[in-house]
Amino acid sequence: MKYSKYHALGNDYLVIAPEDVEIELTKERIERICHRNFGVGSDGILLGPLPSQNSDFGLRIFNPDGSEAEKSGNGLRIFSRYLWDRQLVREQFSIDTLGGKVKARVADSGKSVQVEMGRVNFNSEKIPVTGEPREVIQESITVLDQTFTFCAATIGNPHCVILLPEVAPDIAYKYGSLLEVHPSFPNRTNVQFMKVIDRENIQIEIWERGAGYTLASGSSSSAAAAVAYKLGLCDSSITVHMPGGQIFIQVTDDFMVTMTGGVTKVAEGVISLEMFE
Ligand SMILES: N[C@@H](CCC[C@H](N)C(=O)O)C(=O)O
């Protein structure tokens, strides 16, 4: 089964075209493919291009635990580059995901991709977050020995954004996995620990739903930047600094987000079905 591997700031994905799927991609098989030792190794699988009624292309996004994600910012940039490499697109096109339709624009021969990610929503019923319908802004949540103040948002997939004076990987590892599955989030959640550096820069550490600690995340960058803008801590153009690199986010007054970042091609390969035995 053929695949193309790319990374976006160290957040790596395998792109598998539907015509190359030789065996049903069950939860267990996705887990095995993404496994860093027993499989190819990846932060997820992008299945496409698929037919779409409302966009140029359809895309399905799977996490390494086999769950399906509504949206993936880095995944959308990688898929856009894949379409460019296969000469299926020119500069601008649209992609349909479970989390909504996006517009993509390829630049620098595919090494940079801009995606109009859609509107960030803070409403509890949209994210979802349990409790009365409200905007989830500066609420309290407790895991282990720590009570955090958080904001929640969706850009198609759910995010829990925690503002701290300093962030580090060990905070994401210690608390991220517990917040991911906190009962406040019926669909689980991605988690970002955010430091506001100044009005144009934030730093985040990420614990992804269904993937764990990752070096970068486009939807996380979009959600965290929108929260920083919502809280009045940043202006509308924000550079998001992550261990894997930087993503540039633009937020409009009504929280439409545009994300721009790099993509790197890693490899093309063939998955042996023996791996699933
Ligand atoms: N790394 C992705 C996010 C992938 C989906 C996420 N784990 C989820 O389940 O929502 C990104 O770049 O946005």
CB of 180 within 6 A of ligand 1: the answer is no
d(CA 25, CA 187): 21
Query: Which pLDDT band holds residue 135 (cuts at 50, 70, 90)?
Result: very high
- The CATH architecture annotation of domain 121-254 reads Roll (3.10)
Residue 23 has pLDDT above 90, yes or no: yes
pLDDT at 268 over 90: yes
Tell which CATH architecture fits domain 2-117+263-276: Roll (3.10)
How far from each other are the two terminal CA atoms of the chain, in whole angstroms? 15
Q: How does pLDDT run across 182-195, given as a tens digit for each residue?
A: 999 999 999 999 99
| Binding-site residue set | 11, 63, 73-74, 157, 190, 208-209, 218-219
- 2-117+263-276 and 121-254 have identical folds: yes
Output the CA 208–ligand 1 centroid distance in Å: 6
Q: Is the pLDDT of residue 91 over 90?
A: no
Cβ of 156 less than 6 Å from ligand 1: no
Long-range contacts of residues 247-252, Cβ cutoff 8 Å, at least 24 apart: 247/9, 247/73, 247/216, 247/218, 247/221, 249/221, 249/222, 249/225, 251/120, 251/225, 251/226
Ligand 1, residues 160, 208, 209: which to mutate, most atoms within 8 A of Cβ? 208
Predicted TM-score (pTM) of this structure:
0.97
Residue 118 has pLDDT above 90, yes or no: yes
The average pLDDT across 93-97 equals 98
Q: Is residue 266 a contact partner of residue 5, using CB atoms and an 8 Å limit?
A: yes
79-116 burial, b if ≥16 CB within 10 A, otherwise e?
bbbbbbbeeebeeebebbbebbbbbbbbeeebebbbbb
Interval 199-216: pLDDT, tens: 999 999 999 999 999 999
Tell me what the mean pLDDT of segment 108-114 comes to: 95
Q: How far apart are CA 7 and CA 77, in angstroms?
A: 9
Give the residue extent of every domain in the chain: 2-117+263-276, 121-254
- Taking the centre of ligand 1 as the mean of its atom positions, its distance from the CA of residue 73, in whole angstroms, is 7
**Cα 160–chain centre separation:** 13
The β-bridge partners of 101 are 96
Mutation test of ligand 1: which of 42, 63, 185 has the most ligand atoms closer than 8 Å to its C-beta? 63
Cross-strand pairs, 259: 115, 249
Give 231's contacts (C-beta < 8 A, 6+ positions apart).
137, 138, 151, 163
